[in-house]
Amino acid sequence: MSQSATAHSSTAPHYFVPQPSTWPIFGSFALLFMALGTTLWMNDVGWGKFVLIGGLCILFYMLFGWFGTVIGESEGGLYSKRVDISFRWSMGWFIFSEVMFFAAFFGVLFYMRVLSVPDLGSLDNRLLWPEFTSSWPVAGPGIRESFQTIPAFGLPAINTMLLLASGITITLAHWALLADNRPALVRWMIATIALGTVFLFVQGYEYAHAWRDLNLQLDMGAYGATFFMLTGFHGFHVTIGTIMLIVITFRCAKGHFTPENHFGFEGVAWYWHFVDVVWLLLFVVVYAL
């Protein structure tokens, strides 16, 4: 400590270490109640859902408070360049963890299409499932009901266009921010949110149509499970991304961010591009192929 404590102090960027905080413990209680409530609810204990809702309320309270604190610290000028770099690294690694989460489900889809379904239709399983022949899309040898799939070049193609367009509008918003053109920034952000919201509505409509008219449901074996889990988790991420966009837009409108310093904006943009890329993969391997 002593060896250089003074030599460096004028040039070394000080690193912001936050004060003790009660937000984390709220988050812990939230997740505890959510886990307990969901377990009770799934096992047919009716009041479990109230425990779950209670947990969710605590979670939203925590998220509001915690992010509010961070925004306050950021606007208060407490975050140096080095803190900014920390945020960049961490957002990158967080998105990497999300990539791995989706990779697991893409791997499952690959395994079912290429390995387990053909195997069930092969000679090895003829004794057990004599009538089953391997094909795709398919529910599986033990499921008698039939279902139809959603053609790729209908609503899914429109959704692809919507998300690709939102990738463009958020980039235009970023350029407007860099040019310090606040009205254009807010306009392009609102356009991005609108595209994301329309995407979600189209996806919701498609789900209702699949569930009711096409008999494509979660219990439709290999296709039903992979279809709904992949598109469902993607839709969940688009929802989170849209909420993030809304928060950022309010901040833009309030005058937060500068052309030099706006990691909060960029982090959301990275995340939005990530859900966009996942959708492109989904469009190809779930809908088109």
Residue 223 or 274: the one with the smaller Cβ distance to another protein is 223
Residue 258, burial from CB neighbour count under 10 angstroms (0-12, 13-18, 19+): exposed
Residue 3 or 183: the one with the smaller Cβ distance to another protein is 3
Residue 181 or 239: the one with the smaller Cβ distance to another protein is 239
Residue count (the chain): 289
Cα 252 to Cα 176, 191, 257: the distances in Å are 11, 14, 7
Shortest Cβ distance from residue 208 to another protein (Å)?
18
Residue 199 or 227: the one with the smaller Cβ distance to another protein is 227
Task: Please enumerate, as own/partner, the contacts of 261-265 that have beta carbons within 8 Å and a separation of 24 or more.
Answer: 261/84, 262/177, 263/84, 263/87, 263/88, 263/91, 264/71, 264/74, 265/174, 265/177
Shortest Cβ distance from residue 115 to another protein (Å)?
7
CA distance 41 to 186: 42
Q: What are the φ/ψ torsions at residue 149 (nearest 5 degrees)? A: -105, 170
Residue 139 or 176: the one with the smaller Cβ distance to another protein is 139
Shortest Cβ distance from residue 139 to another protein (Å)?
6
Shortest Cβ distance from residue 165 to another protein (Å)?
29
Cβ 120 vs Cβ 132: under 8 Å? yes
Shortest Cβ distance from residue 54 to another protein (Å)?
14
Shortest Cβ distance from residue 254 to another protein (Å)?
21
Shortest Cβ distance from residue 46 to another protein (Å)?
14
Shortest Cβ distance from residue 71 to another protein (Å)?
14
Residue 115 or 164: the one with the smaller Cβ distance to another protein is 115
CA distance 124 to 148: 28
Residue 36 or 150: the one with the smaller Cβ distance to another protein is 36
Residue 34 or 195: the one with the smaller Cβ distance to another protein is 34
End-to-end Cα distance, the chain: 61
**166: which 2 tokens?**
């939102």
Instruction: Kindly write down the DSSP assignment for every residue of 238-275, as one continuous string.
Output: HHHHHHHHHHHHHHHHHT---SS--HHHHHHHHHHHHH
CA distance 11 to 9: 6
Nearest to 244 by CA among 270, 277, 219: 270
